[in-house]
Structure 1
Amino acid sequence: MAQTEDRYRAPALDKGLDILELLAGIEGGLTQAEIAKRLGRSPNEFYRMLDRLARRGYVARVDGDRYALTLKLFGLAQMHAPPRRLASLVTPLMRDLAARTRQANQLVVFDRGHPVVVAQQEAPGYWGISIRVGSHIGLFDTGSGHVLLAFASPERRQAMVAENRDTGAPARDIPPALEARFEKIRAEGFEAMPSAQTAGVTNLSAPVLAPDGEAMAAVTIPYLPLVDRAEAPGVEEAVAALLETTTAMSGVTGHGTEDEGA
């Protein structure tokens, strides 16, 4: 296998991808010399590559001699068919859910080791919790992550954990307590847990199911209690609306079609 990988190496492409992956995790950019140092190469090796990436719009010069990632890769990701099609299919349902619950909601998929927010619906009132589209969130400490893991086959779940570990996240296995929680989530059809990131917020999450019964996405309401309860339904009502919405989304994406046609 290693010989096959070496046989088809493309050093120039690898060099360009190394630069993009490095800059993706850096705020404020890096100089050519700093890029070379971090990648363990000579600065002269990156001059032409940086020039081409800048001319193609993937990086831009900032603060004189520093290079930073542009939003071009983000735009390309938004054009990627599966997430874009899924988001376009369920956006009206997300909008309706926000109106019914008076809360924001997000659509999250698992991609390359992380749950990723692919669509966001703002709360219709003045107050709500929002998160940027494209954000990577935790696999083990978020409602979305729990739902994506709970509604995955054991084999798929282990692959997701391994993929998460490969991204550089702290190495960990699923503890027995969390495995037991997955059973509860599957039985009830949703997760409700205090946010590990924002005090006072309860994450309500439920799966959008693929035809094989596994979660292809999760919808999460970061439930924020409001003083005026007449303006915002309670948690129980929000959960009921969430489950109705994700059931409708699963139907839109094909889950349950065979049963309905039988």
Structure 2
Amino acid sequence: MPTKPAKIAPRYPTPALEKGLDILELLANHPAGLTKSEVARSLDRTVSEIFRMLVCLEERGYISQSRDGERYCLTLRLFKLAHEYPPTKRMITEALPIMQQATHELNQSCHLGILDGGHIVIIAQVDSPISPGFYVKAGAIVDLMHAATGHVILAHQTPEVTSRAVQIWCRQNNAQVPRDLAAHLTKIKRQGYEERESYQVNGIVNVSCPVFDDRGNAIAAMTVPFIQRIGDQTTPATARRVLKLATSLLSEAIGGVAKPHTSD
């Protein structure tokens, strides 16, 4: 029988929460369930120490008792919560061929980012088929306020999600909300895209469009860090057109809403 795993000392101890998580993790390894005594013994605790937590977890729907009332088992609540999270893996699978087509049309690189607290995480990236080029690598973590991807997602999210992300960013950076942020996000939402010089690199124009979920909220943004090559007739306007189609295709592919973009 699995025993309580060894743990690194937490920075900010939360005994009650840890007790509840220990129980959930333990029951996840026992599909047939465990009695109160078995749970207590496995976690090196007494029955009285875990009783109230078992009651709480049952009331919240995370665990349930067997018909005989002797054993506790996990319910499907955790499974449901996990599947309410943006379908990142599926989105990457659907996005890569669409992004590859876009990069070949534009001869520019392309990346896909999602919101993570006060940051943007780049979850997929495709290089330009020719050089020279510029790209943001997959796995990179980018400052929310220094990324076209971030502004596009914030502009097309619910007020609650946007407010929470901005508050997290302010707390992480010990900073105030940028003065022009509200007006900037309103403009992005009205036009349906972001196009502006890079916040971090000279000579690059970031063009970014949102990817929508089934409720019409942005769960990601696809961005081209556009560089103008000598003799190349491709322009940021070309990138806008290609990205609008690409993000509409991706939104549809993941079961989202392919919103019509405002005409240029």
What's the TM-score, normalizing by structure 1? Answer: 0.65
Shift of 1:225: 0.4
Q: Based on CA coordinates, which of the two structures has the bigger radius of gyration?
A: 2
Is the CA contact (8 Å cut-off) linking 2:86 and 2:219 kept in structure 1? no
Residue aligned with 2:136, SS: coil
Between the aligned partners of 1:81 and 1:199, the Cα distance in structure 2 is 33
Instruction: Compute the RMSD of aligned alpha carbons.
Output: 2.5
Residue matched to 1:73: none
Paired residues, number: 184
Paired residues for 1:195-214 under 5 Å: 195-214=198-217
- 2:92 & 2:257 partners in 1: Cα distance? 19
Residue pairs, 1:49-88, within 5 angstroms? 82-88=87-93
Cα distance change on mapping 1:81 and 1:246 into 2, 3 Å: closer
Instruction: Tell me what 1:186 maps to.
Output: 189
**Pair 1:111 & 2:112 matched:** no
Kept in 1, the 8 Å contact 2:90–2:254? The answer is no
Question: Are the counterparts in 1 of residues 146 and 200 from structure 2 also a CA contact under 8 Å?
Answer: no
Equivalent in 9, 13, 16 of residue 7 of structure 1: 16
For 2:166, which of 153, 161, 164 is the aligned residue? 161
Inter-partner Cα distance in structure 1 for 2:103 and 2:94 = 16
Partner of 2:230: 227
How far apart, in 2, do the equivalents of 1:81 and 1:216 lie? 7
Identity among equivalent positions (%) equals: 27
Q: Aligned residue for 1:171? A: 175
Helix, strand or coil for the counterpart of 2:115? strand
Aligned match of 1:65? none
Structure 1 position 81, deviation (Å):
8.8
Alignment partners' CA distance in 1, 2:165 and 2:91? 20
Q: Is the 8 A contact 2:103 2:127 kept in 1?
A: yes
Q: Unmatched 5+ residue regions in structure 2?
A: 1-12, 23-84, 259-264
CA distance in 1, matches of 2:143, 2:196: 14
Which residue of 127, 133, 156 corresponds with 1:128? 133
What TM-score, normalized to structure 2?
0.64
Give the secondary structure class of the aligned counterpart of 2:164: helix
Which residue in 2 is equivalent to 1:20? Answer: none
Partner Cα distance (1:215, 1:185) in 2 = 12
Where in structure 1 are there 5+ consecutive unaligned residues? 14-79, 258-262
Shift of residue 222 of structure 1? Answer: 0.2
Map of 1:255 onto structure 2: 256
Match of 1:119, as an amino acid?
A
Q: Aligned to 2:237, what secondary structure does the other structure show?
A: helix
* Larger helix share, 1 or 2: 1
Deviations for 1:114-161, whole angstroms, at most 9, x for unmatched residues? 110000100011121112211111211211111011011111111111
CA distance in 2, matches of 1:256, 1:112: 24
